[in-house]
Amino acid sequence: MTTKIKAKAARSPGRKDSSELDGLLATASDLLFELRRMGERRKLTAETFVLSACQVAGCNENRLREIDKLMNDQPGADAARRFVRIVSAKFRELNWPTPPRFDQISKVCNAYGSEQADGQLGQLRITQAEAIALAALHCAENHPDAFGVVSDWQQHAKKEQAMRDKLQSLYGQMRDVVAMPDLTVDRDSVSPSERAKGMVVVRFRRSPNLHIGMDDWPAKLTESVLDLDTQLNDQEAAA
């Protein structure tokens, strides 16, 4: 719903320099960008993912190097190698934010392995959990961009909350500093009778589809600025 106000009221929301709002918008859009990035990459870092997989398997990276060489040197290990390749590809997906827990190992093997693979792993004295940890190592080395930004889930959640709190504080500051240079008066969106009464719609210059009467305009304006900046950056990158 569009809020309409008297033109006189629209002339004096404040006399502060518009750069104050612009500065807050710049800070808020950077913060919102980082929050979106954290949300999109809510997955363990490559290093932490491999370390967690090793902890589940009860081994270390040296052991993974050893079994990797063993699999490649040993004839008749095709099914075992195929299992590692399949699981490694699966770990690139976001629905694997962490490696499987110990109680999930058999489920992963049933889904992506085979009796032949299990038999070959047994002959090579490699556990299923070690094979899965090797898949994590292969994925981390070959596709590091498939991993996220989380090294500690609890600390990650605390950081996210602190950033959200700071963003809300910035939204409150925006309400205090918004000034007429940040705004534009729209008389075309009101009816002739409302216009005769001096009613207008006060919109934001940087995003004319938003108006000052919106309860959540600081958040929407920040999102609009960030989306526009992202679009311009994408266009520059494609040029």
Q: Residue 19 has which token pair?
A: 């750069």
On whether the CB atoms of residues 177 and 21 are closer than 8 A, the answer is yes
Q: Residue 119 has which token pair?
A: 């038999």
pTM of the model: 0.69
Which has the closest alpha carbon to 126: 187, 72, 189?
72
User: How far is 227 from 223, CA to CA, in rounded Å?
Assistant: 6
On whether the CB atoms of residues 84 and 71 are closer than 8 A, the answer is yes
User: How far is 46 from 190, CA to CA, in rounded Å?
Assistant: 56
pLDDT at 230: 82
User: How far is 37 from 126, CA to CA, in rounded Å?
Assistant: 37
Sort 81 into a burial class: Cβ within 10 Å, 0-12 / 13-18 / 19+. Answer: middle
Residue spans of the chain under pLDDT 70: 1-18, 239
Secondary structure string (H, E, C) spanning 91-136: CCCCCCCCCCCHHHHHHHHHHHCCHHHHHHHHHCCCCHHHHHHHHH
Give the number of C-alpha atoms closer than 13 A to the C-alpha of residue 216, restricted to the C-beta side: 7
Domain range summary for the chain, segments of one domain joined by +: 5-39+172-238, 46-146
Which has the closest alpha carbon to 21: 226, 197, 222, 161?
222
pLDDT at 79: 96
pLDDT at 189: 81
Task: Name the residue type at position 222.
Answer: T
| CA 91 to chain centroid | 17
Q: Tokens 């629209």 label which residue?
A: 10
Residues in a beta bridge with 44: 150
pLDDT at 9: 39
